């Protein structure tokens, strides 16, 4: 409740001082009571901190009647949670229906019966207390779920990272690249229906699993300090399917709407090319899931600027040039345009999470 002694606060809104006095004397032994003589003042009090726990609202008032006051209370996210009980001399059931349709929780008619007023106020406050408790539980469970998701991804991502110790920052970098690209495209006509706030959060969360399938690739291929043979490359390409199949098993256990369905798509499709020359399926254009197209740009940029057993790091400027050259062939043109517009932020992420001093030095060269 709102005060130090835990008494709930009731706001009485009535333009007749006598009505306020009757209701106040009825409720004051049990509750803190505040009063407003018009709807405008009531709206102001309702937005104060702490807000009232319940509002008793007269209907027939000058300037702004109870219906309009209730409507404005319900339209404001800061006050919509406050229960409103209408108090009125009107007895027509149509008036009750109108008030309840606006969001009021109950109706009390004049003249007031103290016992009835106390009972209805008590009942609505109890309902509010239980509702608030349920909302707290939902927030707690949601927080626990998000922590579970993050722990799951970090653990699985770390497993892939152990196989390739030279790229410890790769996961962090690509995760942040993914979020940056998604944020840059969230208002784009082609992407705004997909890139809502929750999807962007999940893209950031799931990006570390894009190479989880590499746990199924032998060290002789994964850590080879030279170019792969054609046969070795065929095997390397299987990591997309290894990752997808692994995540599909977990996804089925958690249900089709699990966040792992997005992680599976990222793992499976991040090496597909816009022109259909990628792998593992050779699909093209919009047939490639958006998450795969985003990951493709993030992953290739990071591969270019990173030191590998088979190559030195490229400067940022060279990596940007190569990505731009792939516009419309390897990469979705609109995603490349977004990448170009925020390429300097890519550089800052790369510097922040660089694995080697050589990468930091090389990143800044040629700028």
Q: Are residues 101 and 245 in the same domain?
A: no
Question: Would you say residue 153 lies in a domain?
Answer: no
- Over the stretch 238-296, which tens digit does the pLDDT of each residue have? 999 999 998 888 778 776 666 788 999 999 999 999 999 999 999 999 999 999 999 99
How many Cα atoms are found within 13 Å in the side-chain-facing hemisphere of 144? 6
Query: End of a domain among 136, 155, 189?
Result: 136
User: Quick check: pTM over 0.85?
Assistant: no
Query: End of a domain among 95, 120, 136?
Result: 136
Tokens of 83: 């229960």
Domain with residue 225: its CATH number is 1.10.3210.10
Residue with tokens 């731009």: 324
Q: Are residues 129 and 177 in the same domain?
A: no
Q: Is residue 3 pLDDT above 50, yes or no?
A: no
Name the more confident of 52 and 93.
52
Q: pLDDT at position 34, please?
A: 94
- Decide if 71 contacts 77 (C-beta within 8 A): no
- How many folded domains does the chain comprise? 2
Question: Would you say residue 17 lies in a domain?
Answer: yes
Domain with residue 74: its CATH number is 3.40.50.2300
CA distance 37 to 325: 69
CA distance 266 to 365: 32
Q: Are residues 189 and 322 in the same domain?
A: yes
Q: Are residues 172 and 127 in the same domain?
A: no
Tokens of 12: 């009485």
Question: Would you say residue 98 lies in a domain?
Answer: yes
Question: Would you say residue 141 lies in a domain?
Answer: no
Q: Are residues 243 and 359 in the same domain?
A: yes
Q: Are residues 273 and 341 in the same domain?
A: yes
Q: What is the DSSP string of 31-79?
A: SEEEEESSHHHHHHHHTSSSPPSEEEEES--SSS-HHHHHHHHHHSTTT
CA distance 360 to 357: 5
Residue with tokens 């040629």: 366
CA distance 212 to 251: 14
Q: Are residues 294 and 348 in the same domain?
A: yes
Q: Is residue 367 pLDDT above 70, yes or no?
A: no
**Three-class DSSP category at 327:** strand
Q: Are residues 124 and 209 in the same domain?
A: no
- Over the stretch 108-167, which tens digit does the pLDDT of each residue have? 888 888 888 888 899 888 888 888 777 777 777 766 666 766 766 766 766 666 666 555
CA distance 131 to 102: 19
- Decide if 217 contacts 235 (C-beta within 8 A): yes
CA distance 185 to 196: 10
Name the more confident of 178 and 249.
178
Q: Is residue 364 pLDDT above 80, yes or no?
A: no
- Over the stretch 193-217, which tens digit does the pLDDT of each residue have? 999 999 999 999 899 889 889 888 8
Question: Would you say residue 144 lies in a domain?
Answer: no
Q: Are residues 85 and 208 in the same domain?
A: no
Q: How far is CA 292 from the centre of its chain?
A: 20
CA angle 106, 127, 45 (to 5 degrees): 65
List, in sequence order, every residue forming a beta bridge with 278; answer none if it has no partner: none
> 183: domain range?
163-364
Q: Are residues 274 and 348 in the same domain?
A: yes
Average pLDDT over residues 156-184: 79
List, in sequence order, every residue forming a beta bridge with 327; answer none if it has no partner: 331
Q: Are residues 132 and 180 in the same domain?
A: no
Tokens of 280: 């593992």
Q: Are residues 269 and 348 in the same domain?
A: yes
């Amino acid at each position: 409740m709102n005060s130090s002694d835990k008494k709930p606060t009731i706001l009485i809104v009535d333009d007749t001082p006598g009505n306020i006095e009757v209701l106040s004397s009825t409720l004051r032994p049990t509750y803190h009571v505040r009063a407003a003589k018009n709807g405008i003042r009531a709206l102001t009090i309702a937005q104060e901190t702490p807000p009232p726990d319940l509002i008793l609202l007269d209907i027939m008032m000058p300037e702004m009647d109870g219906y309009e006051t209730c409507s404005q209370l319900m339209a404001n996210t800061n006050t919509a949670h406050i229960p409103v009980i209408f108090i009125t001399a009107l007895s027509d059931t149509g008036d009750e229906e109108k008030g309840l349709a606006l969001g009021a929780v109950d109706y009390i008619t004049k003249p007031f019966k103290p016992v009835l007023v106390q009972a209805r106020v008590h009942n609505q406050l109890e309902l509010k207390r239980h509702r608030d408790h349920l909302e707290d539980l939902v927030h707690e469970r949601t927080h626990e779920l998000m922590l579970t998701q993050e722990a799951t991804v970090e653990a699985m991502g770390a497993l892939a990272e152990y196989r390739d110790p030279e790229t410890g920052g790769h996961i962090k970098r690509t995760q942040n690249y993914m979020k940056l690209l998604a944020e840059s495209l969230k208002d784009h006509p082609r992407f705004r229906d997909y890139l809502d706030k929750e999807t962007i959060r999940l893209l950031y969360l799931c990006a570390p699993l894009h190479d989880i399938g590499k746990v199924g690739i032998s060290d002789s291929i994964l850590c080879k300090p030279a170019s792969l043979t054609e046969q070795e490359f065929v095997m390397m390409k299987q990591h997309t399917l290894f990752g997808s199949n692994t995540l599909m098993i977990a996804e089925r256990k958690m249900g089709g709407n699990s966040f792992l369905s997005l992680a599976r798509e990222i793992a499976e499709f991040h090496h597909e090319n816009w022109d259909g020359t990628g792998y593992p399926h050779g699909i093209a254009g919009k047939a490639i899931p958006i998450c795969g197209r985003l990951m493709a740009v993030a992953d290739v940029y990071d591969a270019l600027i990173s030191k590998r057993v088979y190559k030195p790091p490229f400067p940022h400027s060279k990596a940007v040039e190569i990505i731009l050259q792939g516009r419309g062939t390897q990469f979705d043109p609109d995603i490349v345009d977004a990448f170009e517009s925020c390429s300097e932020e890519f550089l800052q992420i790369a510097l922040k999470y660089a694995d080697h001093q050589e990468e930091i030095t090389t990143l800044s060269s040629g700028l």
